Amino acid sequence: MEISEKVYVLSKKIPKEELFGLISQIRRCSSSIPSNIAEGRGRGTRKDFIQFLHIAQGSLFELETQLILIEKLYKLDINNLLKDIVEERKMLSGMLSKLKIESICRPESKKQ
């Protein structure tokens, strides 16, 4: 959520001509990260949770790429956001590893 909040603050510094381009993109993918984590958790199965964590991870990589482009085009400071992204990536990777190990050790029972 913090990354998304920071993205919204940063997006106000980007020229309005990007409203339907980069601004829209970074806002959508930044809000997609916590949304996919929450949706995956709410699905109730480890397999679904893992799938949605992977989607969140993809959004994180997408956001990082777009922020680097914004830095190059508009000379905005994104260093703190990039640090947050690295930390979030570590957390997601850790969660995925733990869930995958648990899947091997304790497979979910099949629903009938």
pLDDT surpassing 70 at residue 111:
no
pLDDT in tens, 62-71: 999 999 999 9
**Domain extents in the chain:** 2-104
CA distances from 62 to 5, 15, 65, 67, 106 (A): 17, 20, 5, 9, 33
The fold for domain 2-104 equals de novo design (two linked rop proteins) (1.20.1440)
Q: Which of 9-13, 23-27, 56-60, 100-104 is predicted with the least confidence, judged by mean pLDDT?
A: 100-104
Contact 70, 37 (CB under 8 A): no
pLDDT at position 112, please? 41
Question: Crossing angle, helix 79-105 and helix 46-74, to 10 degrees?
Answer: 160
pLDDT tens-digit readout, 15-32: 999 999 999 999 999 999
Q: pLDDT by residue (tens digit) across 70-98?
A: 999 999 999 999 999 999 999 999 999 99
The band of 107, judged by pLDDT with boundaries at 50, 70 and 90, is confident
- Burial string for 25-45 (b: 16+ CB within 10 Å, else e) reads bbbebbbbbbbbbebbeeeee
